[in-house]
Amino acid sequence: MRYLLGLLVGLAILWLVLSGHYAPMFLAFGLGSCLFTVWLCHRLGSIDAEGVPVDLLPRLPGYMLWLLWQILKANVDVAARILRPGRHISPTMITLTAHQRTPLGQAVFANSVTLTPGTITVGLTDGQAEVHALSEAGSHDLDGGVIDQRVRALESRVRHLSSAGS
Amino acid sequence: MIWFINSLSWALLVVGAMTCVIGGFGMLRMPDFYTRTHAASIADTGGMLLIMFALMLQAGLTLITVKLVLIVLFLMITSPTASHALARAALHDDVKPRLNHDKRMGASGSANDRHDPS
């Protein structure tokens, strides 16, 4: 129920922000389309802790700010490697263990790694992420597992999904 | 105050645009497909963020800023998904990455290592 309500509230906020029309007729259309979308998602069976990650919401802003800072640092690093004359890259493939408890957490981890310039997740099976890094130094940073720990903290109180591995 | 916000916004726009150009330059300079993806990711993270933040400063506290924040949020979800799909498709299609270090599980240590002088 909380996930259904969460989705409805989220959609309503999105509609209000994107529409900018607040006449009663438009509001009714908006409500109608939100309810229709919620019904469709319900039929798809996608209203659960994974489809509507409201449990992450309280800790998400802090994580986003930290990730933005990481992205900016990585941008400077990769830009420097591009601009400096000579070869300053050492492409590396590395296998990392994603320690998150839920598939959602592992997806957030893999996406965060990809979002940071200089590292790309090319595969994620059974909690093992295969990552291509532009430099060996970048792969060392990942090996330290800072992103991994942050994402674990992000999902620390997520309810267990039945499909959660190990 | 207004001139301060305007200059900050312009500075961010210029730096953001330069970041995109560096990304494009990197795409030309990098040796293989995967390293080029890294160069491209500069443009769609750093460049995108700087330009969007500059535009938010221009818009001030209005609905436009909220919409810009939404664009940033959606791009931060979709762009890594797209790069991941691209890289995975390349790997699936047997585009071999040119590696200096292979620390994959099951990789035979330095057997796959290759140092090219370029």
Kindly list the residues from chain B whose CB atom is less than 8 angstroms away from the CB atom of residue A147: none
Task: Verify that A75 and A40 share a domain, yes or no.
Answer: no
Q: How far apart are CA A6 and CA A12, in angstroms?
A: 10
Q: Which of residues 79-108 of B touch A (CB under 8 A)?
A: 79-81, 83-84, 87-88, 91, 97-105, 107
Asked if pLDDT for residue B79 goes beyond 80, the answer is: yes
- The whole-number average pLDDT for the span B100-109 is 72
Q: Is A123 within 8 Å of B97 when comparing Cβ atoms?
A: no
Q: What is the pLDDT of residues B105-116, one digit of tens each?
A: 766 544 444 444
Q: Is B77 on the interface with A (CB under 8 A)?
A: yes
Task: Verify that A146 and A96 share a domain, yes or no.
Answer: yes
Does some domain include residue A95? yes
Q: What is the pLDDT of residues A74-94, one digit of tens each?
A: 999 999 999 998 888 899 999
Tell me which of B47 and A160 has the higher pLDDT. B47
Residue A158: band (very low, low, confident or very high) from pLDDT cuts 50, 70, 90: low
Task: Verify that A36 and A63 share a domain, yes or no.
Answer: no
- Name residue, tokens 């730096």: B15
Provide the residue ranges of all domains of chain B, joining segments of one domain with +: 2-92
Q: How far apart are CA A156 and CA A86, in angstroms?
A: 44
Task: Verify that A126 and A96 share a domain, yes or no.
Answer: yes
Q: Is A82 within 8 Å of B30 when comparing Cβ atoms?
A: yes
Task: Verify that A83 and A135 share a domain, yes or no.
Answer: yes
How big is chain A, counted in residues?
166
* Structural domain count of chain A: 2
Q: Is B46 within 8 Å of A122 when comparing Cβ atoms?
A: no
Q: What is the pLDDT of residues A18-53, one digit of tens each?
A: 888 889 999 999 999 999 999 999 999 988 888 888
Of A72, A78, A123, which is closest to B38 when you measure between CB atoms? A78
Which pLDDT belongs to residue B50? Answer: 96
- Name residue, tokens 């069976």: A45
Which residues are within 8 A (CB) of A94 and not within 5 positions of it... i.e. 6 or more apart?
A: A130, A131, A133, A139, A142, A143, B101, B103, B104
Task: For chain A, report the end-to-end CA distance as a whole number of angstroms.
Answer: 27
Which pLDDT belongs to residue B6? Answer: 94
* Residue A15 belongs to domain spanning: 2-44
Interface probe for B, chosen from A13, A69, A87, A93 (most Cβ of B below 10 Å), is A93
Query: Residues A10-46, buried b or exposed e (16+ Cβ, 10 A)?
Result: ebbeebbeeeeeeeeeeeeebeeebeeebeebeeeee
Task: Provide, rounded to the nearest whole percent, the portion of chain A with pLDDT above 90.
Answer: 48
Which pLDDT belongs to residue B41? Answer: 92
Task: Verify that A66 and A136 share a domain, yes or no.
Answer: yes
Measuring CA to CA, which residue among B49, B112, B41, B72 is closest to residue A121?
B41
Task: Verify that A149 and A128 share a domain, yes or no.
Answer: yes
Is the confidence metric ipTM above 0.90 for this complex?
A: no
The amino acid at residue B68 is: L
- Name residue, tokens 């991941």: B84
